[in-house]
Amino acid sequence: MRKTFTLEYWQDEGWYVGQLREVPGVFSQGETLVELEENIRDAFELVLEDSGKPLLRNVPTIPGRTTRNARRLP
C-alpha cells in the first residue's frame, strides 16, 4: 500500500526548503520545486533505512514560520 505525505515548503534565499509534515526530521532543499521533491524522497528513504521502520505522526506547525505551501506526495 502506498502512503501519501504532505510536503510543506517555503523559499529561503532563492532555495526551496521543505519538510514532510507526517515524518519528523525529514527536511531537504532544492533549487527548484522538482529538485526539492526528489531530495525529500531521498531523505525519507534514508530515514527508513536508518530506523528500519517509519516514524509517522502528525507534526504540528512550527511556531514563527511564515506561511507555507503544501503539496501531497504519493
Q: What is the pLDDT of residues 46-69, one digit of tens each?
A: 888 877 654 554 444 444 444 456
pLDDT given at position 71: 67
pLDDT at 29 over 90: yes
Q: Is residue 1 domain-resident?
A: no
Q: Is residue 61 domain-resident?
A: yes
pLDDT given at position 68: 58
CA distance 29 to 25: 13
Q: Is residue 27 domain-resident?
A: yes
Q: Is residue 2 domain-resident?
A: no
Counted domains in the chain: 1
Q: Is residue 59 domain-resident?
A: yes
Q: Is residue 4 domain-resident?
A: no
pLDDT at 37 over 60: yes
| Residue 15 parent element (H or E) | strand 15-20
CA distance 46 to 27: 11
Query: CB of 32 within 8 A of CB of 16?
Result: yes
CATH of the domain at 37: 3.30.160.250
Full domain range(s) for residue 61: 13-65
Digit-coded pLDDT (tens) for 4-27: 899 999 999 999 999 999 988 899
